[in-house]
Amino acid sequence: MISSILPTYTRAPLNFVKGEGSWLIEADGRRFLDLGSGIAVNSLGHAHPALIEALTSQAQNLWHVSNLYEIPQQQALADKLVAETFADTVFFTNSGTEACELAVKMARKYHYEAGHPDRIEILTFEGSFHGRSSAGIAAAGSEKMTKGFGPLLPGFVHLPWNDLDAVEAAIDEKTAAILVEPVQGEGGIRPMPDQNLKELRALCDAHGILLILDEVQCGVGRTGRLFAHEWAGITPDIMMVAKGIGGGFPLGAVLATERAASGMTAGTHGSTYGGNPLGCAVGNAVMEIVTGPDFLDDVNRKAGLLRQKLEGVVASHPEVFEEVRGAGLMLGLKCKALNTDVVKAGYDAEIAMVPAADNVIRLLPALTISEAEIEEACSRIDAAATSVETASAPA
C-alpha cells in the first residue's frame, strides 16, 4: 500500500525534533552534527536567535497580504539585494524552482520585446539542477528527472560541463541565454573555473545573449562571497536565489539588471505568497547577518580550516575517498566507496551529510559553524570512513 506521504524520497530513519546551531537532536536524544543544513538552507544554523526574533515578531503583526499591496519588508529586502549585488530589481518567490521559472520567462521575454521572438533557446549543462518544475527538468535534461513526464518544455540545449568549445558551437540566432550554476550542487559539487565563467560572460556579450546564474545552492555567503560569481569578477544578467536566503523559511528570488528585466511589466508574472511579510522579515535578518562586518571573512577562514582537515581525512582513507573539491563551505568528498554507504556510516557516527551525483558527499555546514565543530565533524567523518573500511575488509 502506498505510504500516506507520496514516496518520492528515500528517507533515513532519523527523526530530528530540535535544532541548535550546527546540531540536530534526535527523538532518542542523540546529538548529530549537521553538515547538510537541510541542503544548504539553514545558512545560519538552527534556531538562530535573530531569525527567531524576526519570525516571531513579524508573526504577531502580519503574515500575509498578497502583492496587491505595498510590503515594506519586501521593499527593504529588495533594496538590500540591489545595494549588495549587480541587480537593479528583484522578484521574490517561494523556492528555487519558482525562481527558475521566472528566469526562463524573463530571458525569453527580453528577446521578444527586443524584436527577436525566435530567440528562445537556453544553453544548459550536463549535471545541472534547476528544480523539478517542467522548465526546471527540461533545463537540466537528465533522464532521471524527465523520463515518463511527457513532452518537455522545448527550447533547452544541453551541453557538456566545462566545454567552452561546445558552448561556442551551440550558439546561433535562436540562443536567448546561458544558464549555469557557478558551483554545481546536486551534480556533485563541481565548481566552474573562474576563467570559464569569464569566457561565458564574454560569449554572452559578444552574441547579445543573457547570462543566467543559478545561485540557489551556492549563493548567500556559501562560497565565502555573498554570491559565488563574485570570485570570477563577473556579473550575470539574471540570477536565481533561494535556499540560504530564507535560513529555513521558504524564500527565493530572481535578481536582474534593468535591461534583462525590461519585458516584465505589470501583469506579466506573479506569485501569491512570493515576498510576503513573514518570509521577507526572515530574509532581511539573514541578509543583515551575512553582509555584516567580518561575517564572510569568518566563513573563508573556517572554509580553509574545514578543507585542510578534510584533505587530511581523505589522505588517511584512500580506499574510501578520492578528493575534496568545491568552494568555501560548499565542499564535496568524491568517494571511491559508495557515497551512500559513507553517509550511512556517518549517521552511526552522529553526523548528517548529503549525497550528490558523481558519487560525491556534500558538506554544507551552517555558515556559523565553529572551529571546534569543524574539528569534531572531521573526526566523525574519519570514524565513518574507518567503519566503511572495516565493513568492506576481506574476512
Ligand X SMILES: *Cc1c(COP(=O)(O)O)cnc(C)c1O
Give the C-alpha separation, 245 to 287, whole Å. Answer: 7
User: Which residues are CB-neighbours of 8 under 8 A, at least 6 positions away?
Assistant: none
CA proximity to 328, closest of 234, 215, 161: 215
Near ligand X by CB under 6 A: residue from 36, 131, 246, 355:
131
Q: For 168, phi and psi rounded to 5 degrees? A: -60, -40
Choices 7-15, 126-134, 158-166, 356-364 (CB under 6 A): range interacting with ligand X: 126-134
**Chain residue whose CB lies nearest ligand X:** 96
Residue 222 binding ligand X, by CB under 6 A: no
**Closer Cβ to ligand X, 58 or 217, answer by number:** 217
- What is d(CA 23, CA 21) in angstroms, rounded to the nearest whole number? 6
Phi, psi at residue 319, to the nearest 5°? -80, -20
Among 73, 97, 124, 387, binds ligand X (CB under 6 A): 97
Residue 223 binds ligand X (CB under 6 A): no
Closest to ligand X by CB, 181 vs 237, is 181
Report if residue 217 touches ligand X, rule: CB under 6 A: yes
Residue 93 CB, nearest approach to ligand X (Å): 9
229 binds ligand X per the rule CB under 6 A: no
The least distance separating ligand X from the CB of residue 241, rounded to whole angstroms, comes to 10
Q: Which stretch binds ligand X (CB under 6 A): 29-37, 194-202, 209-217, 293-301?
A: 209-217
Dihedral sign of CA atoms 39, 41, 47, 48 in order: positive
Query: Could you tell me which residues are beta bridge partners of residue 183?
Result: 191
* Residues in binding contact with ligand X, number by CB under 6 A: 15
User: Per CB under 6 A, does 257 bind ligand X?
Assistant: no
The DSSP-derived string for 221-285 is TTTSSSSGGGGGT---SEEEE-GGGGBTB--EEEEE-TTTTTT--TTS---SSTT-HHHHHHHHH
According to CB under 6 A, which one of 86, 129, 156, 227 is a site residue for ligand X? 129
Shortest distance in whole angstroms from residue 218 CB to ligand X: 7
Smallest gap from Cβ 220 to ligand X, in A, equals 12
Identify which range of 58-66, 125-133, 225-233, 381-389 contacts ligand X by CB under 6 A: 125-133
Measured from the CB atom, the residue of 73 and 95 that comes closer to ligand X is 95
Does 328 participate in binding ligand X (rule CB under 6 A)? no
Which stretch, 55-63, 142-150, 181-189, 341-349, contacts ligand X (CB under 6 A)? 181-189
Contacts 24+ apart (CB under 8 A), 15-18: 18/46, 18/47
* Binds ligand X by CB under 6 A, chosen from 239, 242, 286, 353: 242
Choose the binding region for ligand X from 70-78, 93-101, 260-268, 307-315 (rule: CB under 6 A): 93-101
Other CB atoms within a 10 A radius of the CB of residue 294 amount to 8
Instruction: State the minimum distance, in angstroms, from the CB of residue 327 to ligand X.
Output: 14
Q: 166 vs 29, 157, 159, 208, 214, CA distance in Å? A: 52, 11, 7, 18, 20
CA 308 to chain centre: 23
Nearer to ligand X, 95 or 175 (CB): 95
CB of 213 to ligand X, least distance (A): 10
d(CA 199, CA 174): 20
The CA angle 316-329-334, to the nearest 5 degrees, is 40
Angle at which helix 49-61 crosses helix 277-290, to 10 degrees, equals: 150
> What residue ranges bind ligand X (CB under 6 A)?
95-97, 100, 129-131, 181, 185-186, 214, 216-217, 242-243
